[in-house]
Amino acid sequence: MFPNIDHKELPRALQHIMERGRSTTAQAMPRRSFLKLTGALSLAVGIFPDLAVAQSTDADEAAASLKPTEQPSAFVQIAPNGEVTVTINRLEFGQGVQTALPMILAEELDAEWNLVRSQLGTNDMAYVDPLFGMHLTGGSNTIKNSFTQYRELGARVRAMLLAAAATRWNVDVSTLRTEAGAVLASDGRKLGYGELAEAAMALPVPQKIALKDPKDFRIIGQPTRRLDAQAKSSGQQSFGIDFKLPGQLTAVVARPPVFGAKIASLDDSAARAVKGVKAVLRVPLDRGAEGVAVVADGYWQASQGRDALKVEWDTSAVEKVDSEQQLAQYREMASRPGPRQFDSDMVPLETAPLKLEAEFVFPYLAHAAMEPLNCTVRLADDRAEIWMGSQSAGPDAAAAAAALGLKPEQVVLNVQMSGGGFGRRFSSTYDTVVEACEVAKAAKAAGLNAPIRTLWSREDDMRGGYYRPMHLHRARIGFDGQGNVLAWDHSIVGQSILTGTVFEQFMVKNGIDAATTEGMRNPYPLPMRLTVHHPKANVPVLWWRSVGSTHTAFVMETLLDDIARATGQDPVAYRMRLFGDQHIRHRDALQLAVDKSGYGKTQLSEGRAWGVAVHESFSSVVAYVVEASVADGQPKLHRVTAGVHCNLAVNPLTVEAQVQGAAIMGLSMCLAGSAITLKDGVVEQSNFSDYTVARITDVPKFDIHIVLSAEPPTGMGEPGLPPLAPAFANAIARLTGKPLRQLPFNLA
Amino acid sequence: MGSLFGWSNPGEPTGHDFTEYQGREHEVDVDPETPILWVLRDTLGMSGTKFGCGAALCGACTVHLDGEAIRLCSTPISAVESGKISTIEKTTDGTDRVGAAVHAAWVRHDVAQCGHCQSGQIMSATALLASLSPGAQPTAEEIDSAMAGNICRCGTYARIRAAIADAASTLV
């Protein structure tokens, strides 16, 4: 959902935001607040800096030297009945970190898993990504970056519980051990964590703790059902869209049909007459646009009110994009010189014995998460509280503060469970939260003293921009009869995602956006010249699950298959040769998929063909071996065997789910109708009737295998997506003899 | 999580308090054209039935009307003069044999990811299994056909298939 980022670079981006007057986060909440918040039902374990003064100077110093991300009090509460509640520092929107992070912490805590609960956090500084220093759910980074953090948190709390038990029993702490939520003495005495939590809380937080030897893990690595499985299977799970405060009103916003347009004239008399409508408000919108918010008792009344508006839009000052013209423009740009990412010698191309030329087209794509965008805002004179599913709570809260004329520390953002997101819930311009704040501000100015939920319809969500950019790729490849590539001349045309965002200064270099080119060439040792063009267009673009690899993996893996086919080589053997001895994880993932699929051994039934692709993204490698056919002119995917390398799999059950889910999102990209197009500046699609996403009838059989590893884990939210479409396309090309050069597939 | 600022008694989100509405008749004062989805969600505070598309395309708002799966986002309250609507909260509360089996299978197979579509998925699956003659097992084609109207953007379909087949086997 986010490009691969060198975390050492991120602090510079944050400095950049601060300089622009937008602090990324509110101040760390005083630890005392957590105690108050949790109330009588449960006790926060840990030491509160402000309480520590009265208790122990040493403890104060020890606690103060720990960062907010290392303070157990912000992450762990243990109730008297032994229930352990773990706060997660991310958005849970399906990827399963709300279970995996508690598993990691519970492992080192030696908690009883059946007593572990979890909750989502806020924009408090404790919940920043410990490596990036900002609130961020993206880039498949949660497990990779918070694995050690949550282990250490669990180990610290365990040490404090042990110390409390040693004091209670007046024994040396080294004689004690922990097991399944209890401290045990050598003489058989036992105290549950719930009985020790209050005393443990008064103790200093240890700075140095020992972590378990991974061979002793009993929770990490076990296939574990999600903590939210019950609630999500019974209608009991509350999402952002379900959040409701007393007296809350709902707003829907009429947005201009072309991005950035303004209101020419407005007649809201009929809208105001709709029963339940409380106010009709002109509000400033994203990208300099203007809109009309209709505030009502509920969504339906607001929606009826919006339908009754008579708005004339002034689109004279904004570019009106037409996708067909845009493609022609991209084709023209692709033949121009431009900045280069790789710059190998292209002379051998002219004399190469074999040549291949190809052009690829990829459309805009909408995230189309099942829960439409929404945000609830409650305002007072000197503060605001926000409830939303945010992948970036700190930056969203800071943007809200700026919109409301408040200081960042005057805004609390409560992260809400989200029905998907895939990158859309970290808007580079914070459009969702800023708009909701503008609506709330205008409502308050109009005398409405009520919390306001701004809710997007499906059509609003799909036409609201922030798409995976449209891309054109062009390649000219010279190779020999053994498939050795002699020269590969490649160009990419597509809007830059990161230009204008906090990541621009270190991820857009030499005029090239790293989010456009990620996934090109590597790990293959190819002599490539890669030219990149970033046209501007009045279409907001954004990271979208697996970002650049959504198109680069397709291009690379289908072209390599073409070369293998043209030179009569097995596509697996050809890739293995290119991986050489350097890329062991790629080899292991591909070999596992090959072995488990029966590739090369099993004879497929008539009309079916194998397809292979392997791709690394976000530090994990996924290889697919698929079976596909063409029936009635339509490509059909029957079976997918995956080999996955994500180092240590914290929760194999989630890894499997993420690979299945990402593969199906990758499959969606192949299906007819999976494209956002524009005509006269207006997005032509509006709902699931004209924007295709995979349904159960499209879905193959899955067989997912994970390479065993004890190396520190890497993320799995995205890496399963990129190799699916090329593996499918490679199978179809073997059946038809014609390579597929665009998504969605077009066999014509 | 409650309020962090000590606002005057905000209370918990009402989204959790559905059970008191279940199994009762409700009289509501709304425009007759209001889709039942919004009567449930905004007027009665029953948020287990989800809003996904507003056009009967995604199935997130699936409930049972006299046992039949219907889409509430596009069903105005005036269209249902009489009849018993059962929502996800009622179907999975343990009193409905088929619903309980489907609910248990959904948990056993760890189907949900984001979970926003799963209320509708479970209601469609329950309607399918309830429509079969006693002891009958749905074929793979019957499962796909019954579930084709329910979109899951997270792509939990493989586990949905497995959970339905498993639930059916427990109902024998």
The total number of residues shown for chain A amounts to 748
Report the C-alpha gap between A69 and A381 in whole angstroms. Answer: 30
Q: Which two structure tokens, joined as six digits, stand for A273?
A: 């007459």
Q: Is residue A106 part of a domain?
A: yes
Residues near A78 by beta carbon (within 8 Å), at least 6 away in sequence:
A42, A43, A45, A84, A85, A157, A193, A194, A197, A200
Residues near B135 by beta carbon (within 8 Å), at least 6 away in sequence:
B171, B172
The residue that leads in pLDDT, A9 or A18, is A9
Contacts 24+ apart (CB under 8 A), B143-148: B143/A696, B144/A696, B144/A697, B145/A697, B147/A696, B147/B121, B148/A695, B148/A696, B148/A697
Q: Is residue A83 part of a domain?
A: yes
Residues of B in contact with A239 (CB under 8 A): 50, 115-116
Kindly calculate the radius of gyration of chain B based on its CA atoms and give it in whole angstroms: 17
Report the C-alpha gap between A223 and A655 in whole angstroms. Answer: 9
Which range among A84-88, A132-136, A458-462, A586-590 shows the weakest confidence by mean pLDDT?
A132-136
Q: Which amino acid is at A224?
A: T
From 3.40.50.720, 3.30.1330.10, 1.10.150.120, 1.10.10.10, which CATH number describes the B90-170 domain? 1.10.150.120
Q: Are residues A585 and A667 in the same domain?
A: yes
**Residue A718 touches partner B, C-beta closer than 8 Å:** no
Residues of A in contact with B152 (CB under 8 A): 370, 696
Residue A492 near residue A518, CB atoms below 8 Å: no
Q: Are residues A72 and A205 in the same domain?
A: yes
Q: Please state at what angle helix B97-108 crosses helix B118-131, rounded to 10 degrees.
A: 130
Contact A370 B58 (CB under 8 A): yes
Q: Are residues A131 and A224 in the same domain?
A: yes
Q: Which two structure tokens, joined as six digits, stand for A77?
A: 């509460």
A238 vs B15, B118, B122: nearest CB: B15
DSSP state of A408: G
Q: Is residue A214 part of a domain?
A: yes
Pairing of strands A383-388, A374-380: antiparallel
- Greatest Cα pair distance, chain A, in angstroms, is 84
Residues A301-309, mean pLDDT to the nearest whole number: 98
pLDDT score at A63:
54
Residues of A in contact with B158 (CB under 8 A): 660, 699, 701-702
Q: How many CB atoms lie within 10 A of CB A373?
A: 28
Contact A275 B2 (CB under 8 A): no
Examine the pLDDT at A297 and tell me if it is beyond 80.
yes
What is the percent of chain A where pLDDT is above 70? 91
Q: Could you report the per-residue pLDDT of B95-150, keeping only the tens digit for each?
A: 999 999 999 999 999 999 999 999 999 999 999 999 999 889 999 999 999 999 99
Strands (E), A618-728: 620-631, 634-645, 678-679, 682-683, 701-706
Give the model's confidence band at A128: pLDDT under 50 very low, under 70 low, under 90 confident, else very high.
very high
Q: Are residues A98 and A192 in the same domain?
A: yes
pLDDT score at A49:
28
Q: Are residues A506 and A653 in the same domain?
A: yes
Q: Are residues A499 and A618 in the same domain?
A: yes
DSSP state of A668: H
pLDDT score at A399:
97
Average pLDDT, chain A: 92
Report the C-alpha gap between B100 and A400 in whole angstroms. Answer: 43
Q: Is residue A322 part of a domain?
A: no
End-to-end CA, chain A = 32
Examine the pLDDT at B13 and tell me if it is beyond 50.
no
Alpha carbon A340 to its chain's center? 29
Q: Where in chain B is the domain with CATH 3.10.20.30?
A: 29-86
**Residue A33 touches partner B, C-beta closer than 8 Å:** yes
Q: Which two structure tokens, joined as six digits, stand for A81?
A: 């009945």
Give the model's confidence band at B29: pLDDT under 50 very low, under 70 low, under 90 confident, else very high.
confident
pLDDT score at A4:
52
**Residue A243 touches partner B, C-beta closer than 8 Å:** yes
Report the C-alpha gap between A270 and B131 in whole angstroms. Answer: 46
Residues of B in contact with A244 (CB under 8 A): 13-15, 45, 47
Q: Is residue A436 part of a domain?
A: yes
B113 vs A94, A122, A368: nearest CB: A94
What is the extent of the structural domain holding A85?
A: 7-232
Q: Could you report the per-residue pLDDT of A734-747, keeping only the tens digit for each?
A: 999 999 999 999 99
Distance from CA of A305 to the nearest CA of B (A): 13
Q: Which helix (H) or strand (E) holds B113?
A: none
Residues of A in contact with B57 (CB under 8 A): 687-689
Residues of B in contact with A235 (CB under 8 A): 18, 47-49, 87-89, 92, 119
Examine the pLDDT at A469 and tell me if it is beyond 90.
yes
Contact A232 B154 (CB under 8 A): no
Q: Where in chain B is the domain with CATH 1.10.150.120?
A: 90-170
Q: Could you report the per-residue pLDDT of A150-165, keeping only the tens digit for each?
A: 999 999 999 999 999 9
Q: Are residues A180 and A101 in the same domain?
A: yes
pLDDT score at B8:
28
Examine the pLDDT at A748 and tell me if it is beyond 90.
no
Contact A368 B112 (CB under 8 A): no
Residue A105 near residue A137, CB atoms below 8 Å: no
Q: Is the pTM of this model over 0.80?
A: yes
DSSP B52-112: S-SSSSS-TTEEEETTEEEEGGG-BGGG-SS--EE-HHHHTSSSSHHHHHHHHHHHHTT--
Q: Tell which A residues from 651 to 710 touch B, by Cβ distance under 8 Å.
A: 653, 657, 660-665, 687-689, 693-697, 699, 701-702
Report the C-alpha gap between A134 and A132 in whole angstroms. Answer: 5
Q: Could you report the per-residue pLDDT of A21-36, keeping only the tens digit for each?
A: 333 333 343 333 232 2
Examine the pLDDT at A251 and tell me if it is beyond 90.
yes
Give the model's confidence band at A62: pLDDT under 50 very low, under 70 low, under 90 confident, else very high.
low
Examine the pLDDT at B167 and tell me if it is beyond 70.
yes
Examine the pLDDT at B9 and tell me if it is beyond 50.
no
Helix (H, G, I), strand (E, B) or coil at A102: helix
Q: Could you report the per-residue pLDDT of A629-639, keeping only the tens digit for each?
A: 999 999 999 99
Q: Could you report the per-residue pLDDT of A703-733, keeping only the tens digit for each?
A: 999 999 999 999 999 999 999 999 999 999 9
Report the C-alpha gap between A618 and A719 in whole angstroms. Answer: 6
Distance from CA of A356 to the nearest CA of B (A): 36
Alpha carbon A304 to its chain's center? 34
Residues near B13 by beta carbon (within 8 Å), at least 6 away in sequence:
A238, A242, A243, A244, A245
Residues of A in contact with B121 (CB under 8 A): none
**Residue A369 touches partner B, C-beta closer than 8 Å:** yes
Q: Are residues A480 and A347 in the same domain?
A: yes
Residue A528 near residue A541, CB atoms below 8 Å: no
pLDDT score at B129:
98
Q: Is residue A332 part of a domain?
A: no
**Residue A404 touches partner B, C-beta closer than 8 Å:** no
Q: Which residue of A has its CA nearest to B113?
A: A94
What is the percent of chain A where pLDDT is above 90? 90
Q: Are residues A342 and A222 in the same domain?
A: no
Q: Are residues A254 and A194 in the same domain?
A: no
Report the C-alpha gap between A33 and A21 in whole angstroms. Answer: 27
Q: What CATH code is carried by the domain that includes residue A439?
A: 3.30.365.10
pLDDT score at A64:
62
pLDDT score at A269:
98
Residues A102-109, mean pLDDT to the nearest whole number: 98
Q: Could you report the per-residue pLDDT of A665-700, keeping only the tens digit for each?
A: 999 999 999 999 999 999 999 999 999 999 999 999
Q: Are residues A540 and A649 in the same domain?
A: yes
A244 vs B1, B45, B55: nearest CB: B45
Q: Could you report the per-residue pLDDT of A184-225, keeping only the tens digit for each?
A: 999 999 999 999 999 998 999 999 999 999 999 999 999 999
Number of H helices, E strands in chain A: 22, 29
Return phi, psi of residue A57, to 5°. Answer: -65, -40
- Greatest Cα pair distance, chain B, in angstroms, is 56
Q: Could you report the per-residue pLDDT of A534-551, keeping only the tens digit for each?
A: 999 999 999 999 999 999
As for how many domains chain A has, the answer is 3
Contact B103 A699 (CB under 8 A): no
Q: Could you report the per-residue pLDDT of A550-579, keeping only the tens digit for each?
A: 999 999 999 999 999 999 999 999 999 999
pLDDT score at B46:
95
Q: Is residue A461 part of a domain?
A: no
CA-CA distances (angstroms) from residue A744 to A328, A345, A539, B159, B169?
18, 33, 20, 25, 38
DSSP state of A542: -
Please confirm whether the linkage preceding A744 is cis (ω < 30° from 0). Answer: yes
Q: Which residue of B has its CA nearest to A717?
A: B154
Residues of B in contact with A299 (CB under 8 A): 38, 41-42, 51
pLDDT score at B82:
79
Residue A626 near residue B118, CB atoms below 8 Å: no
The A701-706 sheet, strands edge to edge: A608-617, A620-631, A634-645, A701-706
Residue A638 near residue A283, CB atoms below 8 Å: no
From 3.40.50.300, 3.30.1330.10, 3.40.190.10, 3.10.20.30, which CATH number describes the B29-86 domain? 3.10.20.30
Residues A325-345, mean pLDDT to the nearest whole number: 97
A702 vs B89, B148, B158: nearest CB: B158
Q: Which residue of A has its CA nearest to B9?
A: A246
Q: Is residue A325 part of a domain?
A: no
Boundary-marking domain end, from A455, A490, A506: A455
Q: Are residues A395 and A351 in the same domain?
A: no
